[in-house]
């Protein structure tokens, strides 16, 4: 299945533990931001967004967490429940694997027709006609801190369309919720 939206959250600090831990925000160096963002990307009320692929990249360990909306049977509403599913490594629609940043870029090039980098200094999103952007769209976001400049260069984000949600700083998962609503609205007008 071709996805219409792909969310990629890059965290320069997060690590994926080998086993379930308590206090995931501190013990995993903010993996909770990736997990919360995955839940936001894939949740659609009480259902799952089947047209969505989520990729979380923990760059400290070169670990990719991939969740495929078209294969998932459920999406939990808490980060700890989601981490538990990820660590089981046997849940359809969830994959955990190791990729270098150049390997991740190469993989994403096979998935995406357009790339949008959500940045506070980008073009206001209300000036972008989301209906005309070829899909699937890869939406790049930093986790709790921005993507590092070297990572931006490797991923080609310096050439991507930079878009801003406005003057307010939002948490990563909030950005994804807003983008999903804007995409839903744009796609319903096509």
Range of the domain at 11: 5-188
Please state the domain count of the chain: 1
CATH of the domain at 114: 3.40.1280.10
Query: How do residues 125-141 score in pLDDT, each as one tens digit?
Result: 999 999 999 999 999 99
pTM of the predicted model, to two decimals?
A: 0.94
pLDDT, tens digit, 9 for 90 and up, residues 79-89: 989 998 898 87
Tens of pLDDT along the chain (190 residues) come to 579 999 999 999 888 888 877 778 777 888 999 999 999 999 998 899 999 999 999 988 999 999 999 999 999 989 989 998 898 877 899 999 999 999 999 999 999 999 999 999 999 999 999 999 999 999 999 987 788 889 999 999 988 999 999 999 999 999 999 999 999 999 888 6
CA-only gyration radius of the chain, Å:
15
Beta bridge partners of 95: 66
Enumerate residues 6+ apart whose C-beta is below 8 A from 96. Answer: 16, 63, 64, 65, 66, 86, 87, 89
How far apart, in whole angstroms, are the C-alpha atoms of residue 94 and residue 51?
15
């Amino acid at each position: 299945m071709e996805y219409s939206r792909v969310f990629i959250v890059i965290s320069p600090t997060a690590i994926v533990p080998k086993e379930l831990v308590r206090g995931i925000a501190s013990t995993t160096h903010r993996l909770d931001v990736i997990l919360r963002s995955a839940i936001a990307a894939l949740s659609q009320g009480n259902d799952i967004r089947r047209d969505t692929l989520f990729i979380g990249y923990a760059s400290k360990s070169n670990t990719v967490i991939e969740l495929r909306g078209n294969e998932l049977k459920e999406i939990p509403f808490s980060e700890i429940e989601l981490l538990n599913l990820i660590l089981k490594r046997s849940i359809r629609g969830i994959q955990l694997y190791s990729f270098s940043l150049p390997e991740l870029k190469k993989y994403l090039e096979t998935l995406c027709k357009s790339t949008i980098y959500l940045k506070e200094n980008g073009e206001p999103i209300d000036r972008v006609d989301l209906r005309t952007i070829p899909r699937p769209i890869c939406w790049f976001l930093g986790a709790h801190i921005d993507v590092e400049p070297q990572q931006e260069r490797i991923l080609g984000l310096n050439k991507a369309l930079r878009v801003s949600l406005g003057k307010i700083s939002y948490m990563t998962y909030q950005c994804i919720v807003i983008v999903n609503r804007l995409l839903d609205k744009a796609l319903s007008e096509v």
